[in-house]
Structure 1
């Protein structure tokens, strides 16, 4: 049996065992046959509440789409008839009307034993858990903000038993539990009485007369999930699967296959939430914080056991599934948690010791070793968060959001732009006020400074407004045409400039045809001086954009060189409306987009009769030194949307004064102490006159500076968190960052200097040890 047949058999087996055909196709693009075979071992049919027969022939999975007219809220047990309970609806609406976020707590009446739901307004001090669920599981309610009593009781048990990562749990100081970032200080007894949570079913008004408040509550969802301490994932399939004493790869297999992983709204909730905890039948698991690529993280405390070791046969599969979950949750967007803490900075041991059986079986040594290696990147996260503010990251953010949402589904297609806005750090309220899909997507894309050029390869629905024919390349929504982050194009005067690499590495290939290619389905390109040809199939719309009257030539941009790959590639066709030839050679081409295309290599002898009838155009390859500018129609009175400073959130703690004190006070103080020591060591071994008072004054001064630095550090943590939280407000603008913007910019710059200094010092100090270690290992 050929590998392709084996691959098809595995995918067919997965579909038979309850996997969605679209999910199987998406996983086939990311995993190999051995990984798929491991996934196919899990028969999902006994655990599923939906079937995927209707997904065949659809562009995305539709099994979990719900019919709002026939939706039924479910009880925990099929025959249960317990009463519905919910928070006071008037209180919820009043909180939302004043711009607040309602949070729910569950209380039990001591006398009657009945449950009631209390409502509080979220404040910067609030520690709460956000609930993420799939509506097809029956945890929604379209007529009232309430749930069955049995569901509330189970939810209360889940919330009280949820595990915390070590760096997210409040600091215990005697009877007190302190969350300094939120200035939340509680006694141990008080903190155990009330656990706050947010759930859309209970906190988003559903009555017709509260439509305005409902829209406002939906716009608050980005803030809700981003500021939550944890996101608790409730999936009907996972909730009936036991997790204790199961192997880590098996648990990841269940998570990857869950219906929760296929919905657009849950993608937003998982990507924005700092910690995603998945609820199983007997335990709640946070795989990202419980594991790293090499195995278990010792800083995580959980009530379930996950035996996983590099010696296990399933460890390579575990690593691939872990990476898949890591990328899906976009963990690198929200914190600098190390993907593999065994390779982090800190005390290093030789590989032959770490991989030895003695070391791997010695739990004490492993804990001691990992305790000296931080689970997060050093330098106050400066390098990580500096990357997140750059234009290349913004492009990567757009590409990953597009590609992920293209594989996911949502019941209401108009919701997709709200999700995109939240994930790309725009205010969703502005997007919702815009007219249609085309205008929403155009506003989002034009708010970037740099865009991926692969937008022109999109074969999905596009904006075909006749009065803006130069903008017909703009997509309406994410499609199956996968975007790539390279190359990029930058907004310039009335155009988008393609940014090509100047070196000889393979990349975008540009052909120039010195005539206007007429409307045709297929044609051939013959490169000047070469015998082989490129066969081009165009992908045109019924409402094709008009050709500009000033067009004189045609430009074809291909993603790859078909002459090198001898295969297929994609590209786009443009009409040239302007050429600059200052010294005889082409230095700039100004173009207008026409349509996407598919291109393939073809030898002259391979042409068949039908293909010989297609027109052939002689072309020239355009050098990378030539500027390519794609013209667009500007939007009248358009202002770029303000973007929340994602990298300046509560996960980067300011420490500017501590850094200033390090370089301006502490290091000079060390130098002075060394100088005093040298003076003391020299004959007559006594302090020079006036040295002792000067030394006392210096010690007192530096002690005061150290105390001030610590106080400033503690003050800026909650201040930065509050400033970040305000960036989710409807009226927030980039100008409103005030002191915070300047502060974090300076903090990031000083942190970079500090990190480079410590790296330089550590490299000099550790060099002798590295040399001796290398001699021992020879």
Structure 2
């Protein structure tokens, strides 16, 4: 899905960050794991920035779940989505199969509708720049993940409903002046009102249920998912974050608690995992965490330092959301302080 082929050597930016943030033992283990993001083209990266996940640097191709698959694409009908935004809410979808034929159902979110939000880096091939559609093979896989998670997290809920930007926010609505505010606002609403958020990332999904915590720290911290600004917002604003593994699913809080326990013993940096819980505390304003305080701004800067977004316009909205304010009220001074722009 990239301009060139996947690189044979690791990204220079990721390599530099591993050396800076971890000890030599961790760097050796990272190499044994096969590095990170090796399915991406890092030819445009340097030590200062990893650009492999930027949408505008690639010729985008939506992926199937296996090479050679030519199954059909299933799409949501924009005519069904527009009235939902008109009504001041957002859509959720589910996959149904009847007589061997699969199709997508769309409904408006209302209180009482329980669904899973899907969080992913678009560079993993789960996006679509031309249509609100994904291959049937991908949707069958996502449907299985969602239903399995719901069966344990919400066993009494109506199964199968999920929110995913690719299907619920068609590109033509995002760029429409009339609908831009509503569709972009739905990113925040759909994350906050979900039962939880399921992370689908190529590197994280290499982990099996018998993973070591040192492997988990490296896989997660240097994944494509951890390199994007939108995914930070999704992880902070959602009630629960679940990571899809190769053969299981794990609550991110389990990883965070293990990281906090082992940080000193393993010479691990605290920031990459503590940031999720701490940003939630600042947004709540409870327990001595003061929203939009200098400490809140400093932590948000630290959290966004190695994250990027393909759309510069999105930066202001994401910063505002993570400061608990309207983007129109975000001053240039605070925006510059968080991003440390020159």
TM-score of the pair, normalised by structure 2: 0.84
Aligned to 2:265: 316
Q: Answer yes or no: is 1:219 the counterpart of 2:185.
A: yes
Aligned equivalents of 2:93, 2:303: Cα separation in 1:
31
Residues 411 and 479 of structure 1, relative CA distance in 2, 3 Å threshold: same
Alignment of 1:305-454 (within 5 A): 316-317=265-266, 320=268, 323-328=270-275, 330-334=276-280, 385-388=286-289, 390=290, 394-428=293-327, 430=328, 441-442=331-332, 445=334
After superposition, what is the alpha-carbon deviation per residue over 1:566-625, rounded to whole angstroms, capped at 9, x for unaligned? xxxxxxxxxxxxxxxxxxxxxxxxxxxxxxxxxxxxxxxxxxxxxxxxxxxxxxxxxxxx
Are the equivalent residues in 2 in contact too, given 1:17–1:43 (CA < 8 A)?
A: no
1:101, 1:121 within 8 Å by CA — same for their partners in 2?
Answer: yes
Cα pair distance change 1:413/1:290, threshold 3 Å: closer
Structure scoring higher RCO (CA < 8 A, sep ≥ 6) equals 2
Deviation at 1:29, TM superposition (A): 4.2
What is the distance in 2 between the residues matched to 1:406 and 1:325? 11
Correspondences of 1:501-650 after superposition (within 5 Å) = none
Q: Tell me: CA distance 1:24–1:327, structure 2 relative to 1, closer, same or farther (3 Å).
A: farther
* Bigger Cα displacement from structure 2, 211-220 vs 250-259: 211-220
- Which has the larger strand fraction? 1
Q: Secondary structure at the match of 1:207?
A: helix
Contact 2:217 2:259 in 1 (8 A): no
Query: CA 1:149–1:315 in structure 2 vs 1: closer, same or farther (change >3 Å)?
Result: farther
Q: Cα offset for 1:151?
A: 0.6
Segments of 5+ residues of structure 1 without an aligned counterpart are 1-15, 171-176, 178-187, 297-309, 337-381, 432-439, 446-473, 481-540, 542-778
C-alpha spacing 1:214/1:18, structure 2 compared with 1 (3 Å): farther
The aligned runs of 1:82-121 (5 Å cut-off) are 82-109=71-98, 112-121=99-108
CA displacement at 1:294 relative to structure 2: 8.6
CA RMSD, 1 decimal: 3.3
Task: Please give the TM-score of this superposition, normalised by the length of structure 1.
Answer: 0.39
CA distance change for structure 1 residues 327 and 90 in 2, over 3 Å: closer, same or farther? same
1:90-131 Cα shifts (integer Å, max 9, x gaps): 12111012211111122221xx22112111221222221111
Residue number among 46, 49, 61 corresponding to 1:56 in the alignment: 46
SS, match of residue 209 in structure 2: coil
Deviation at 1:159, TM superposition (A): 0.9
* Counterpart residue number, 1:76: 65
Residue 252 of structure 2 is matched in structure 1 by 287
Q: Secondary structure at the match of 2:40?
A: coil
**In 2, distance between residues paired with 1:37 and 1:26?**
14
CA shift for structure 1 position 210: 4.1
* 1:27-46 → structure 2 map (5 Å cutoff): 27-44=18-35
Tell me if 1:475 matches 2:336. yes
Instruction: Look at both structures and tell me which one has the larger radius of gyration over its CA atoms.
Output: 1
> Equivalent residues in 2 for 1:91-240 (5 A)?
91-109=80-98, 112-162=99-149, 169-170=153-154, 188=156, 191=157, 194-207=159-172, 210-239=176-205
Q: Are the equivalent residues in 1 in contact too, given 2:213–2:255 (CA < 8 A)?
A: no
1:140 positional shift: 0.8
Per-residue Cα deviation, 1:140-191 (whole angstroms, up to 9, x for no partner): 11221111111100101111222788xxx45xxxxxx6xxxxxxxxxx4xx3
Q: What secondary structure does 1:35 align onto?
A: helix
Whole-Å Cα distance in 1 between the matches of residues 212 and 38 of structure 2? 21
Deviations 1:608-652 (A, max 9, x none): xxxxxxxxxxxxxxxxxxxxxxxxxxxxxxxxxxxxxxxxxxxxx
Of 240, 256, 263, the match for 2:228: 263
Deviation track 1:681-728 (CA, whole Å, cap 9, x = no partner) reads xxxxxxxxxxxxxxxxxxxxxxxxxxxxxxxxxxxxxxxxxxxxxxxx
- Helix, strand or coil at the partner of 1:216: helix
Where 1:53 maps in the other structure, the secondary structure is: coil
Residue pair 2:272, 2:303 contacting (<8 A) in 1 also: no
Query: Does the 8 Å CA contact 1:204/1:214 hold for their aligned counterparts?
Result: no
Instruction: Name the SS for the 1:124 alignment partner.
Output: coil
In the TM superposition, 1:629-708 aligns within 5 A as none
Contact residue 105 and residue 119 of structure 1 kept, 8 A: yes
Match of 1:469 in 2: none
CA distance in 1, matches of 2:15, 2:238: 26
* Match of residue 650 from structure 1: none
Deviations 1:243-284 (A, max 9, x none): 122323222321122111111111221222232212122122
Equivalents in 1 of 2:26, 2:13: separation in Å?
17
Counterparts of 2:181 and 2:314 in 1: how far apart (Å)?
Answer: 11
